[in-house]
Amino acid sequence: MTHPSAQPPPRTRVVGYVRVSTEQQAGEGVSLDAQRTKLAAYAVALDLELVAVFEDAGLSAKSLQRPGLAAALALLDAGDAEGLVITKLDRLTRSVRDLGDLVDRYFSARCSLLSVNDAIDTRTAAGRLVLHVLAAVSQWEREATAERTRDALAQLRSSGVTLGGEGFGWRRSEMTDDFGRRIREDIDDEAKTAERIVVLRAEGRSIPEIVATLEAEGRSTKRGGRWHPTTVHRILRRFSS
């Protein structure tokens, strides 16, 4: 009995992406043509099916909002390609945060990322390890940034700085303190309205009843619009604590 000859495994379909941010890069070995040639040779060497190559010319890697990159990622989303191949990670992005976002959306599980110069191929254990390290660095950067922000805000609050927009009952005056910060001043009419809301609540009035009373008494909101239950809730939280 004869057996059919074994069929070779299907080649991995990949989409290429190339980018230059300036015309000067054409003379530095990273021109679009040079990158395309390198991707084509890499695909042959690794027996990949290069289904398309998209490009962005004159665009920075500071943002992921690039038409060529969007087109390449669309092929991944549609299932027309199983991986993205680039010459170097900085052609894809220079932002650790954006790289982490791409890993979360595409390369952590369902798609492969292959970078020629960085020797990254997430189809292998070593390639996945490198990318996971980069993703971990991205997460660390986000958490470190959040910690620095929290510490800075806490320091400002401890120094008496009022953060956020102007709340009901006060505004920032044109006068400044010794540090050049605008001084907070009370608004009498709004303060009296806030006091009225607190009193009505203490009398057992419901939030809708308080809204109706404020409208009937002709009291103004911060922006001069109509009263809403959420507005009353916020004022109660601020002035009842």
Catalytic residues: 21
For residue 73 the two structure tokens come to 């990622």
Are 67 and 20 spatial neighbours (Cβ–Cβ below 8 Å)? no
Q: What's the gap between Cα 7 and its chain centre?
A: 44
Are 15 and 72 spatial neighbours (Cβ–Cβ below 8 Å)? yes
- Cα 63 from Cα 39, distance rounded (Å): 23
| Nearest residue to 88 via CA among 176, 27, 29 | 29
* 114-139 burial code (b ≥16 CB/10 A, e <16): bbbebebbbeeeebbebbeebbeebe
Q: What are phi and psi of 22, to 5 degrees?
A: -140, 160
Are 103 and 33 spatial neighbours (Cβ–Cβ below 8 Å)? no
- Cα 241 from Cα 60, distance rounded (Å): 49
| Nearest residue to 164 via CA among 238, 214, 228 | 238
